[in-house]
Structure 1
Amino acid sequence: MRDTEITDHAQTYGLLGRLRDQRVLLHIRRPDQAEPDLSMLLTVDPERRELVFDLPPEPASQHYEGNEDLTVRTRLDGIDLRFSVQLRGLTDLQGFRALAAYWPNRIMYRQRRRSFRVKLAARAAPIEISIDNETSISGSLIDISVGGFGALISRDVDLAEFERVDCSLELHNQRLKLQAEIRSLTDSTQPRYNRLGASFVEMDPAQRRQLERLVAELERLAIRTDHTR
């Protein structure tokens, strides 16, 4: 597993905003601290480039002061995230004491692949990707799992990591409509195409069951194909 560095301001804001909105538990640690404290991200101000964290309960809260570095670790939708911020000090937020900090210079993330990906024959499975129900992008699936997919798309397409998209894919006589999040965009070995990696998000139970059955059938077909070679 390889770490990826995020320095783009918009992408950083997108990740921090999701940590705030989903009220994800954070592990925060001072440089002299052996065990981390639990916290949450309360406010994200991209214009002033400031963050506010929940102040850990006493006695841990007594040790937090301004002008010291704070390491933050957490998981968001299967991604390990870590970043460092410099504390400004204590602040008041709606009558409660909280930790004010400066904007991080970078966020490091590492995705753990939790499911087997089935490789697909070139151009055997079309996929349509739409953004905000307006722009439609055609591509070809190259692999799929219960967790996500890989696809080839034109290099002229304007997409960004962590962008949410709607996907319609047709595979093994089945059509699925799912939401996904772009996780990577890299050069492919084929001219004029990029390789897109994405993770499925916000699936309901029926969608997950359909996808699990489809991937299981594709795995069986792949195994039978390998055995007959």
Structure 2
Amino acid sequence: MLKNAPTQDSSSKEDYTQQHETVTSSARISMVLRPLMEKHAIITATLPDCNQFFTTALLSIDIQDGTMTIDGLHPQEGHALLLKAGKLTLHTTYEGVEVNFSVSIKQADSENGMAFYITEFPQSIRYLQRRSAFRVPVSAAKEIKVDIETPSKKRFTGNLSDISAGGMCVRFNKKKELALSEEKEETQCCIHLPDKRKIRCAFKVCHSNYLEASGSLHIGGCFSNLDKIQRRTIERFVIELQRLARKSLAR
């Protein structure tokens, strides 16, 4: 049996600040879990009052029926322990996303000698996205202006270099903008999207990189205290950029 949980790679220094989120929407939970099912991701399982770790996989999701199906536990001695406990906690990391949730077992069955379990659909999941893993670059030919204002009312204007659901990197062409890289307090930013939409939100500077060759300064950081509308607007914009990138590669 595994005596220690699988180790996770440490985040690079350029990772944006990470933020846990509790997701309760069934639709959003399904969106998070489906890639795990489709790619047969290995999931770590723990049981109440048990210090051993087991592995499983997500086989199916049925939102309408309110159930999921997971593979039998490995090593197999976890089977009897799970039937006795009646519930388990599942944890996995896949493509930069950490997911953690607990479910109760509704039915245990087998097919061709292989055990599987029908569980309740999770009421909520704990979700942590490693922001750097989902950064989408913005073409230099497609300038997207970003205004940043500090608490002392100093304003800086640059161009979006890359963006994720949780943070962004802004490119400045003037060395004098180095003052922004030393900003410790939360700033306010405005991202000017191509269709004249604007995303206004709080932004926390996390790191900076001055490139001598181009004379440009790149400042990266994380969005802060996003409300639902702001988060959805950013997520949709990131998806738009991903689609454009795929179309460009397909040509």
**TM-score, structure 2 normalization:** 0.50
Cα offset, 1:65, TM superposition = 1.1
Indicate yes or no: 2:204 matched with 1:186: no
The within-5 A match list for 1:1-229 is 1-57=18-74, 58-65=76-83, 68-93=86-111, 96-114=114-132, 125-126=143-144, 142-144=160-162, 150=168, 153=193, 154=197, 186=226, 196=234, 198=238
Q: CA RMSD in A?
A: 4.4
1:185, 1:196 within 8 Å by CA — same for their partners in 2?
A: no
- Which letter maps to 1:186? L
Cα deviation, 1:138-179, whole Å, max 9, x if unaligned, reads xx96452799964555379xxxxxxxxxxxxxxx9xxxxxxx
Cα distance, 1:55 vs structure 2? 0.6
Q: Distance in 2 between matches of 1:50 and 1:106?
A: 13
AA aligned opposite 1:56: L
Kept after mapping to 1: 8 A contact 2:47/2:85: no
Change (3 A) 1:46 1:93: farther
Equivalent residue letter for 2:33: L
Cα deviation code 1:167-221 (max 9, x no counterpart) = xxxxx9xxxxxxxxxx99935xxxx9776264887989xx7xxxxxxxxxxxxxx
Once the 2 structures are TM-superposed, how far is the Cα of residue 8 of structure 1 from its aligned partner? Answer: 1.1
Shift of 1:39: 0.4
Q: Any conservation in 1 of the 2:20–2:128 contact (CA below 8 Å)?
A: yes
In 1, are the aligned partners of 2:59 and 2:70 still within 8 Å (CA)?
A: yes
Give the Å deviation of 1:56: 1.5
Q: Aligned pair count?
A: 160
Gaps of 5+ in 2: 1-17, 146-157, 169-190, 200-213, 215-222
Quote the Cα distance in structure 2 between the aligned partners of 1:193 and 1:47.
Answer: 29
Q: Secondary structure at the match of 2:107?
A: strand
**Secondary structure of 2:80's match?**
helix
Contact 1:143–1:149 at 8 Å: present in 2 too? no
Query: Which sits farther off after the overlay, 144-153 or 104-113?
Result: 144-153
Max Rg structure:
2
Report if the CA contact (8 A) 1:142-1:152 is conserved: no
Deviation at 1:59, TM superposition (A): 2.0
Task: Tell which has more relative contact order, 1 or 2 (C-alpha 8 A, sep 6+).
Answer: 2
What whole-Å deviation, never above 9, does each CA across 1:22-63 have from its counterpart, x for those lacking one? 111000111112122000001111110101111124222221
Contact map agreement 1:29 1:70 (CA 8 A) in 2? yes
User: What amino acid sits opposite 1:52 in the alignment?
Assistant: T
Contact preservation (8 Å) 2:29, 2:124 = yes
TM-score (norm 1): 0.55
